[in-house]
Amino acid sequence: MEATDPSAWSFMKWILLVLAAGFIGQFGRAMAEGILARARRLFGWKKKEKSPLTEVPSREGPAGPEPPPPPSPEKSAKKALKAQLKMAKKAAKVKK
């Protein structure tokens, strides 16, 4: 692929466009933060604290996650019956 190939030139233009947009965005952000910092100093504004609604609660408590509850006897009996039926079905299939 040559540098004069239209697809290569198009690709290079997109790369340059993305880099320029990133530079402009970073410069704009830094400028906005500078303006806000200066306004805070001049007018005595305070920086807003994070709202409790925007903070993500941790999934684990101080002692870690709670262990899952033990399975109920009815559920384990149902699972055993299901396993027996499955084995019987397999045995019937093999006999055919």
Confidence class for position 25, pLDDT limits 50, 70, 90: very high
User: Structural domain tally of the chain?
Assistant: 1
Tell me whether residue 59 is in a domain: no
Domain boundaries, position 12: 1-47
Per-residue pLDDT of 43-79, as tens digits, reads 887 777 766 666 666 665 566 677 788 878 888 889 9
Of the chain, the percentage scoring pLDDT greater than 90 comes to 34
Q: Which residue has 């993305």 as its token pair?
A: 18
Tell me whether residue 11 is in a domain: yes
Q: What is the C-alpha to C-alpha distance for residues 87 and 72, in angstroms, rounded to an integer?
A: 23
Of all helices (H) and strands (E), which one includes residue 46? none
Does pTM surpass 0.85?
no
Q: What is the C-alpha to C-alpha distance for residues 22 and 14, in angstroms, rounded to an integer?
A: 12
Tell me the mean pLDDT in the region 11-23. Answer: 92
